[in-house]
Amino acid sequence: MESQTGLLDHLVDLRKTLLRSFAAVALIFLSLIYFARDLYRFLAEPLMVHLPEGTSMIATDVGAPFFAPFKLTLMVAVLLAIPFLLHQIWRFIAPGLYKHERRLIAPLLISSSLLFYAGIAFAYYVVLPLAFGFFTSMAPEGVAIATDISSYLDFVMKIFFAFGIAFEIPVAILLLCWSGVVTPAQLRAKRPYVIVILFVVGMLLTPPDIISQTLLAVPMWILFELGVFLARFYTKKSITTEEE
């Protein structure tokens, strides 16, 4: 009977967590919907500055001028709500964690949010301008560049999420070492293989040009080294010692 009561309590807490999360995203979305076109204009800026004079983006679908900014605004609302969503996850799982786990998880949630945003900012301000500059310069003579707004949105959001997730490497390494799956020494020993894997991942997650691939692989390598360095100070062994 007690187990059933406990399960119901968890389900009620989960329902509250989901409702609060949905409400936060909806509130941010409603506050941004008026600026949907401005948001899309800001998103398109890295491409627009490289388009030939007199050209612009196009909409090949009748509803695209409305749905593309609408879709972008919803994605922005979810991205802006990430700290709150992670806080809700933290509130839900915190009662089941040990004291030392709570001390580690809270900073990891904060750092993972900051790293995700850093990855998106790096993609917007560094990767996209270089990639679009490369693409437009490679267009054959006589070919007019006219990018569809929906295709552009899908392309850019894939880049954003790829870089946002890639920048979570230090957090992933800390969690792996914290759980005892690997050790910093083992990761350092596998460094050559990791570097090759990172460049392969960069090739798969970015457009087929060496600039974008390198701009993703090199930061991931640096973040890998940072994660390995930080993991030395918080491994499963150190946690066990701390508990004793």
User: Which residue's entry shows tokens 């506050």?
Assistant: 31
CB 76 within 8 A of CB 158: no
C-alpha distances out from residue 70 to 101, 115, 232, Å = 40, 26, 45
Average pLDDT rounded to a whole number, residues 109-115? 86
Average pLDDT rounded to a whole number, residues 15-38? 91
Average pLDDT rounded to a whole number, residues 56-66? 80
243 against 73, higher pLDDT: 73
Residue 7: what pLDDT?
Answer: 63
pTM for the complete prediction? Answer: 0.80
pLDDT single digits (tens) 193-217: 888 888 888 777 766 667 777 878 8
Q: What span, in angstroms and rounded, lies between the C-alpha atoms of 238 and 235?
A: 5
H-only helix segments in 123-209: 128-137, 149-166, 169-179, 184-189, 191-205
Phi-psi region of 46 (alpha: psi -120 to 50; beta: other; left: phi over 0): alpha
Q: Which two tokens stand for residue 187?
A: 């990761």
Average pLDDT rounded to a whole number, residues 116-135? 86
